[in-house]
Amino acid sequence: MKRSGESSDVEARRSKQARMHDGVLVLPIPSMRELMQRSKQRISKPVQVSGFSKYPDGHVTYDRSLLKLLKKAAPLNSDLLEGMDAYAEPPNTAPLEHVIDAMLPANRHLHNHTTDAQPLPKYHVVTYRNNLNKIMGTPYNTNSAYTMQMQRIQGCVYLNVTLSHIPPSSFSSNQAQGAYAGRRYEVLSSAAVGGGEYCGVFSVSLGQKKLLIGAEMDGVTASKDDDDDTTNYVELKTFRILNTPKDRFTFERYKLLAFWIQSYLVGVPTIRVGFRNESFILTKEQAFETADLPRYGDKHWVLGLLVLLLVCHYGG
């Protein structure tokens, strides 16, 4: 016969475990004390372990052939909307299989130019960086609803995050122009013009958890043959010129947070921002060091990986 104290202990443990209820995964809500304890876990410096190039026709090679070499600067006074009328959005397909296949010994050898056969750690989460961007930014962005899709196989969670359906009417012409301007800025910043994308694959430790993260990289500022080095990566972003206090608030409150999350996760040290006027003419460029961004936004957001820690804790 179980004593009442033992029974309550069992119930308490069960209440802190993820469970299925009527076909729905229910995640427990930890106490603030538990959150603060977990927040002390540290995230390791990201290490690039592989990567792949994805061509416009969909085929993939496990090399750096599509990693773009960036110019020192994009030409100022460029029209960031040039060519928009003829632009067709490419299919947004990013299967996790590419990240998984990049870790096969033969493909790692092709990408890294090494015969190093060191055993791989056991990964608890496999995902793309943009999924973690959405999760980590949740406390500061309540307007972009999303759905998490998770599949656990042999103790590893394969994570995907999809935005809820957005009616075409809610996507304004200004938003469409802003999205295109960002792509155009990437083209203007690249030394060579070409389609496709390069994705790096990074290993990160979060406390006792191991994450394998795929991330599309905008480009590098030095030779792309520097293996296993993230110090030359640069993220490219655009934003309107900061003419008013509201512009500055939006930039520091929302944009810098998104820039920091995206770059910090895979160790990109530098973000280059192209500022444009209301007519989408590139008027200024400014480089920001990722490590410096928190001091711009410290009055608007608190650094922490709490939401990400929750996903890793309950998913791993």
- Pairing outcome for strands 125-128 and 156-163: parallel
Instruction: Give dist(CA 190, CA 255) in Å, integer.
Output: 23
Residues 18 and 25 sit within 8 Å (Cβ to Cβ) = yes
Helix (H) or strand (E) holding 157: strand 156-163
Q: pLDDT > 70: what percent of the chain? A: 75
Residues 6+ positions from 211 with CB-CB distance below 8 Å: 123, 124, 125, 126, 127, 203, 204, 205, 312
Q: In this predicted structure, what is the pLDDT of residue 314?
A: 44
**What is the average per-residue pLDDT within 202-211?**
88
Indicate the DSSP class of residue 80: T
Token pair listed for 6: 């033992």
Among 123, 68, 57, which Cα is nearest to 93's?
Answer: 57
- Type and span of the H or E element at 20: strand 19-21
Cα–Cα dist 291/206, whole Å: 18
Residue-wise pLDDT for 279-298, tens only, equals: 999 999 999 999 999 888 77
Residue 218 has pLDDT above 70, yes or no: yes
- CA 74 – CA 71 distance, rounded (Å): 7
Query: In the numeric block, which tokens belong to residue 196?
Result: 């496709």
Confidence of residue 306 (pLDDT cuts 50, 70, 90): very low
Average pLDDT value for residue range 71-83: 97
Whole-model pTM: value is 0.82
Domain positions in the chain are 43-228+303-315
* Residue 215 and residue 200 in contact, taking contact as beta carbons nearer than 8 Å: yes
Query: Would you put residue 89 in left (φ > 0), alpha (ψ -120 to 50) or beta?
Result: beta
Q: Which residue has the tokens 């910043």?
A: 189
**For the packed helices 256-265 and 129-136, what is the interaxial angle rounded to 10 degrees?**
140
- The two tokens of residue 274 are 């192209």
Instruction: Tell me if 274 sits within 8 A of 187, measured CB to CB.
Output: no
| Whether residue 153 has pLDDT greater than 50 | yes
pLDDT at 32 over 90: no
Tokens of 203: 């290993």
> No. of H helices and E strands in the chain?
10, 13
Q: Which residues contact 101 (CB under 8 A, 6 or more apart)?
A: 52, 60, 62, 107
Q: How far apart are the first and last CA of the chain?
A: 34
Q: Name every residue whose Cβ is closer than 8 Å to that of residue 266 and which is 6 or more positions away in sequence.
A: 46, 48, 129, 200, 202, 204, 213, 215, 230, 233
Q: Which of 54-63, 149-158, 298-307 has the lowest mean pLDDT?
A: 298-307
